[in-house]
Amino acid sequence: MAKKNSQSLKLLAIIVIAVVAFVAGVYAFLTWQSSQPPTNPKDIAITASVGDDSLEVTPYMVCEPGVECPEGDVPTLKVSADDTVTIEIPEEIYDHDWQLLTIYDDPGANDQQVHGPRDVNKVEVPVSAAPVGDSPEKPQLVVVEVSSVMIGLDDHDEETPYLTTWSVAFEQA
């Protein structure tokens, strides 16, 4: 009986040591992760693709709220009327609220979608929208914008919110 108790105590000690090591490892990882600086919003890219053509797009505008925001360059992707554009959103954006604005050559076809955290990480946008009103013409996609409030570091290395917008223009091939 004493031998069984001794073996049980050894097994219990091994289990306790394993649990303590696991908890310490998780705590160390979480501490390390929380001490990492956030990715600079200007370095986060979305991907726009049509068929085999793909384009990594960095932000068109990044600025603190209330500050005049300089505009950057808007890349252009060639499309045809039958195409569908795929916009892939990285986790740094889709892990919180973000918006998708689609702008067509007929304002009646424009659309804005608001997505919640982890709602979706990829959207498909048709190049040709359904006709608007009495017009037989299908509106054609001109611009897609993704916008989100991102956290970055200011000039004093303090975390601050940034209004961030990615923009892609489309040209008929």
Q: What is the pLDDT of residue 26?
A: 80
Average pLDDT for residues 142-161, to the nearest whole number? 92
pLDDT at 13 over 70: yes
Average pLDDT for residues 112-138, to the nearest whole number? 94
Beta strands at 122-126 and 141-153: parallel, antiparallel or unpaired: unpaired
Q: What is the pLDDT of residue 124?
A: 97
Whether residue 164 contacts residue 41, with contact meaning beta carbons closer than 8 Å, is answered with: yes
Q: What is the pLDDT of residue 57?
A: 96
Average pLDDT for residues 59-84, to the nearest whole number? 93
Neighbours of 167 (CB within 10 A): 22
Q: Does pTM top 0.85 for this prediction?
A: no
Distance CA 84, CA 128 (A): 8
The continuous run of DSSP H or E covering 30 comes out as: helix 2-35
